[in-house]
């Protein structure tokens, strides 16, 4: 599972993001913060002009610009490769293995969600996708 409150995970994630050219390019004109959350574990990232300039294992009083979060099971399915980020963040049901009568058909919930300033989160769509890719890289290395 992704451990947002693990200091080693946080340090590795920040280091990777700061060396990622795509993340730097997509956040070049962003001055804000992103809160990552999984089952109560949090990682707050302060991003300024393409770099993560600070991070904390909690949400500071200043809050966040936007949050990406969801249950640990969703992050685990993403980490294992069982599910894709687009499947988890887009409302709707795509897997009906445990639902032979299709009772969940038409359900419009998502397992990972964005909250806060959704306009800014939408503007940073490519940066968020890159962030998720780097989270997965760091998380998979931690499992190896």
- The answer to whether residue 51 sits within a structural domain is yes
Q: What is the pTM of this model?
A: 0.87
In a domain, 58, yes or no: yes
In a domain, 129, yes or no: yes
Answer yes or no: is 46 within a domain: yes
Q: Is residue 2 domain-resident? A: no
Domain count, the chain: 1
**Mean of the per-residue pLDDT values of the chain:** 89
Residue 99 belongs to a domain: no
List, edge to edge, every strand of the sheet that includes 51-56: 51-56, 41-48, 31-38, 66-70, 113-116
- Asked if the structure places residue 63 within a domain, the reply is yes
- The half-sphere exposure of 22 on its side-chain side, counting CA atoms within 13 A, is 11
φ/ψ bin of 83: left (φ > 0), alpha (ψ from -120 to 50), beta (otherwise): beta
Residue 103 has what pLDDT?
61
Q: Among candidates 22, 84, 17, 100, which has minimal Cα distance to 51?
A: 17
> Residue 33's closest CA among 59, 5, 2, 72?
59
- Residue indicated by tokens 């989160």: 121
For 75-112, what is each residue's pLDDT tens digit? 999 999 988 888 888 765 556 666 666 665 555 567 89
- Structural domain that includes position 108: 7-93+104-143
Tokens 């990552």 belong to which residue?
A: 36
CATH number for the domain that contains residue 125: 3.30.1050.10
Kindly state whether residue 98 falls inside one of the protein's structural domains: no
Strands of the chain (E only): list them.
31-38, 41-48, 51-56, 66-70, 113-116
How does residue 18 score in pLDDT terms, banded at 50, 70 and 90?
very high
């Amino acid at each position: 599972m992704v451990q947002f409150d693990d200091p080693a995970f946080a340090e590795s994630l920040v280091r990777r993001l700061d060396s990622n050219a795509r993340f730097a390019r997509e956040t070049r004109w962003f001055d804000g913060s992103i809160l990552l959350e999984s089952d109560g574990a949090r990682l707050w990232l302060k991003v300024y002009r393409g770099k993560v300039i600070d991070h904390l294992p909690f949400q500071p009083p200043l809050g966040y610009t936007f949050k990406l979060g969801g249950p640990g099971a969703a992050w685990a399915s993403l980490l294992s490769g069982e599910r894709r980020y687009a499947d988890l963040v887009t409302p709707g049901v795509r897997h009906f293995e445990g639902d032979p009568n299709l009772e969940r058909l038409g359900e419009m919930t998502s397992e990972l969600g964005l909250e806060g300033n959704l306009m800014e989160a939408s503007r940073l769509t490519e940066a968020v996708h890159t962030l998720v890719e780097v989270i997965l890289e760091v998380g998979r290395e931690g499992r190896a």
